Copies of this chain bind each other. A is one copy, B any other.
Amino acid sequence: MGRIRLADISTRAPKDFDKETTKAKTQEILGQLDELQNLLYAESKYAILVILQGPDASGKDGVIRNVFTSMNPQGITVKSFKTPTAAELSHDFLWRVHEAAPAKGMVQVFNRSQYEDILITRVHKWIDDDMAKKRMKAINDFEKLLEEHNNTQILKFYLHVSPEEQQERLQERIKDRTKQWKYNENDFAEAKLLKEYRSAYEDCFEYCNDIPWTIVPADQNWYKEYIIASTLLATLKKLDMKFPGLKKSNQGY
């Protein structure tokens, strides 16, 4: 497979997807997810890590609200990665990420993630290509650790938004009083760098794809939510989980 070019990939649902039918399907999937999450928690054998990445206003918060709110809060946590704190900057870049890794039985959603350390940092040239390569290697090792040593299923979603849709949403953040809290004074300056961000994402897809990315057309929320919910459902179904019997005493490690 050649290098993915985001500019060549549609940000919209395929023509044969109807909005209302798809929304109904999503609701049905959410019901199944609820049951499977209960089993996941009871068995506590697997962990689920959902990584949400995408440009500003690509709809990460909306996915969390519309896909994950229906889950039992005892079994799901959301971690938003913001500008690193002083304490976080005093550690390697994966330190704060590892701390937030899901325990077995849990679903953890990352709103932004370790990938910011090879996205915003590259677009603004805070790190050079050599450091980026090293971080990509470290990210691959890290994801393998979670997968191999804690049965963590990692789902990586890129929310693919068009520049037009992004601009519209950012304008809304200014105009809509209920959305103004989301506005950041850098938003428009960052949006001008969408091409550079896409290029940095394309490198993620090329070099950090041991655990594969799903590119989610994200201009229409209903389609984006359907893709994420159905991908999650397929992942949970594949796990072949079962309710555990009486617990044996734990001898040690």
Q: Is A120 located at the chain interface by the 8 A CB criterion?
A: yes
Contacts of A252 in B (CB 8 A): 83, 120-121, 124, 126
Bound together, the chains give a CA A142 to CA B142 distance in angstroms of 8
For A103, give its contact among B47, B87, B250 (CB under 8 Å).
Answer: B87
Which among A104, A135, A251, A252 has the highest number of chain B CB atoms within 10 Å? A252
Does A3 have its Cβ within 8 Å of any Cβ on chain B? Answer: no
Taking CB as reference atom, which chain B residue is nearest A151? B92
- Contact in complex: A253, B126 (CB < 8 Å): yes
> Which A residues between 73 and 131 are near B, CB-CB below 8 angstroms?
83-84, 87, 89-95, 98-99, 101, 103-106, 116-117, 120-121, 124, 126-127
B253–A84 touching, CB < 8 Å? yes
CA distance A158 to B142 in the complex (A): 27
Q: A47: which B residues are within 8 A, CB to CB?
A: 90-91
**Bound form: Cα–Cα A116–B101 in Å:** 21
Does B94 contact A149, Cβ atoms closer than 8 Å?
Answer: yes
Given contact pairs A91-B101, A117-B253, A121-B253, A145 touches B149 in the complex (Cβ within 8 A): no
Nearest-neighbor residue (CB-CB) of A93 within chain B: B149
A18 within 8 A of B: no
Confirm or deny: A134 has a beta carbon within 8 angstroms of a beta carbon on chain B.
yes
Q: Which residue of B lies closest to A131 (CB)?
A: B149
CB distance from A237 to the nearest CB of B (A): 22
Of B87, B95, B127, B148, the residue contacting A150 (CB under 8 A) is B95
* Cα–Cα distance between A89 and B149 once the two chains are bound (Å): 11
12 example contacts (A-B, Cβ-Cβ < 8 A) are as follows A83-B252, A90-B105, A91-B101, A91-B104, A92-B101, A92-B146, A92-B152, A93-B149, A99-B99, A126-B252, A134-B149, A141-B145
The 7 A-B pairs at the shortest CB distance, nearest first, are namely A92-B149, A90-B103, A92-B150, A90-B104, A98-B98, A141-B141, A121-B253
